[in-house]
């Protein structure tokens, strides 16, 4: 399995050697490029080098244990052998995670999430706002940055739709399986007779690509500016700060109006557009991957109902892996790890079986 890392390891050693070359060290631009490449390779190369070194130490310890005639020394050698094998297995787990992240495309730090209210009217919009707050609290617990890009609020305090960016180590890895339909069963605040209603919201998780990954030609974008309107005071209504970008080749339209500055709204709109284009590129590959695998948890199909939040029973159920937790109150406070960890573990076992 780890043969896939051999090429990275060899290149890491080559770069290390090159950085010690006086001819290279005299060229600052070359040093900077190599140092950047070394940093990117080190995440896999350093633990892989440790794995190889432990393999050599284990071979030496096995030879010593086999040749040792003294029972006490042999017992010592075998104890040392056990310790080395345990260390190598720990490093192997790290390498398996690296391979999984690479195969699943989850070795990213930045993502954009979009939540849209579905069936259920005002109650669906309130549920969409609850999901937004759940993810916000989860980000806070992880130390990730959270930034609202665009939001359409309702009069009752809900959200018809909202887009937000998340940045942090492991963010995409943990949130990759949140795409899909989220259903809520509860008594709405507007329900006078105490009847339980079912509403829904849709969540989309979009990896945020680097600018070099998605090249957008200026001539392919139509830009319109307008007054922001809606809540926000007189300033929004008097200035044309809202920006609408239309990507003519695909027809994708993005609107951003939250910032007072037209420049800032355009920057946010470009981030959203870039992520939606990248997501569109990945859809075909994701569909093909889903067909080849036993589980749909990685398909990102937004029409698929993935989770139910039942308030009367304090229950949350993820239908893809048949996981039910009776801790909905804590989940809504941002304690998502029991769900995200179970999904990652399920997908990881399937992925690693294919590597």
Structural domains in the chain plus CATH codes: 2-104 (1.20.58), 110-354 (3.30.70.1660)
CA distance 328 to 331: 5
pLDDT of amino acid 132: 97
pLDDT recorded at residue 73 = 83
Determine the Cα–Cα distance for residues 142 and 335; give it in Å rounded to an integer: 10
pLDDT at 293: 43
217-242 pLDDT, tens digit per residue, is 888 888 888 776 554 444 444 567 88
The residue whose two tokens read 């963010």 is 171
Write the burial class of residue 11 (CB in 10 Å: 0-12 exposed, 13-18 middle, 19+ buried): middle
pLDDT at 248: 86
pLDDT, position 105: 57
- Dihedral over alpha carbons 239, 244, 245, 249 (to 10 degrees): -150
Residues 6+ apart with CB under 8 A from 256: 149, 150, 242, 243, 265, 266, 268, 269, 272
Structure confidence at residue 36 (pLDDT)? 86
CA atoms of 199 and 122, how far apart (whole Å): 9
Structural tokens at position 118: 């579905």
SS (H, E, C) the chain: CHHHHHHHHHHHHHHHHHHCCHHHHCCHHHHHHHHHHHHHHHHHHHHHHHHHHHHHHHHHHHHHHHHCCCHHHHHHHHHHHHHHHHHHHHHHHHHHHHHHHHHHCCCCCEEEEEEEECCCHHHHHHHHHHHHHHHHHHHHHHCCEEEEEEEEECCCCCEEEEEEEEECCCHHHHHHHHCEEEEEEECCCCCCCCCCEEEEEEEEEEECCCCCCCCCCHHHEEEEEECCCCCCCHHHHHCCCEEEEEECCCCEEEEECCCCCHHHHHHHHHHHHHHHHHHHHHHHHHHHHHHHCCCCCCCCCCCCEEEEEECCCCEEEECCCCEEECCHHHHHCCCCHHHHHHHHHHHHHHHHHHC
Integer CA distances (angstroms), 231 to 152, 161, 195, 227, in order:
9, 15, 32, 12
Would you say 128 and 159 are in contact if contact means Cβ atoms under 8 Å apart?
yes
The dihedral sign for the CA sequence 228, 231, 237, 239 = negative
Cα 200 from Cα 305, distance rounded (Å) = 9
Given a cut of 70, the residues of the chain with pLDDT beneath it are: 1, 103-108, 190, 192, 209-213, 215, 228-239, 282-303, 351-355
What pLDDT, in 10s, does the model give residues 182-194?
999 999 876 767 7
Q: Contact 201/186 with Cβ under 8 angstroms?
A: no
Distance CA 88, CA 58 (A): 9
Residue written as tokens 């910032």?
259
């Amino acid at each position: 399995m780890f043969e896939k890392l051999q090429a990275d390891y060899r290149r890491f050693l080559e770069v290390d050697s090159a950085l010690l070359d006086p001819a290279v060290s005299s060229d600052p631009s070359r040093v900077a490029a190599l140092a950047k490449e070394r940093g990117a390779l080190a995440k896999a190369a350093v633990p892989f080098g440790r794995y190889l070194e432990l393999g050599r130490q284990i071979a030496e310890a096995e030879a010593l244990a086999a040749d040792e005639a003294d029972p006490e020394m042999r017992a010592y050698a075998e104890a040392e052998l056990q310790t080395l094998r345990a260390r190598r297995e720990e490093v192997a787990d790290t390498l398996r995670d690296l391979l999984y992240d690479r195969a699943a495309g989850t070795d990213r730090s930045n993502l954009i999430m979009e939540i849209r209210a579905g069936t259920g009217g005002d109650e669906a919009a309130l549920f969409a706002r609850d999901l937004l707050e759940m993810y916000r609290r989860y980000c806070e617990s992880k130390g990730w940055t959270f930034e609202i890009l665009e939001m359409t609020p309702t009069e009752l305090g809900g959200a018809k739709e909202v887009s937000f960016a998340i940045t942090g180590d492991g963010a995409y890895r943990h949130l990759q399986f949140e795409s899909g339909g989220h259903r809520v069963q509860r008594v709405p605040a507007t329900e006078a007779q105490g009847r339980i209603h079912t509403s829904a919201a849709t969540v989309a998780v979009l990896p945020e690509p680097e600018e070099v990954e998605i090249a957008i030609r200026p001539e392919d974008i139509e830009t319109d500016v307008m007054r922001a309107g809606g809540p926000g005071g007189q300033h929004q209504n008097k200035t044309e700060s809202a920006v609408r970008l239309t990507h003519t080749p695909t027809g994708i339209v993005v609107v951003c109006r939250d910032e007072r500055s037209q420049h800032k709204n355009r920057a946010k709109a470009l981030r959203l557009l870039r992520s939606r284009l990248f997501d569109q590129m990945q859809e075909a590959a994701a569909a093909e991957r889903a067909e080849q695998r036993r589980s749909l948890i990685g398909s990102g199909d937004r029409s698929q109902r993935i989770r139910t939040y039942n308030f009367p029973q304090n229950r949350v159920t993820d239908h893809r892996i048949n996981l039910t937790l009776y801790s909905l109150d804590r989940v809504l406070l941002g304690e998502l790890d029991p769900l995200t960890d179970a999904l990652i573990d399920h997908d990881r076992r399937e992925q690693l079986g294919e590597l």
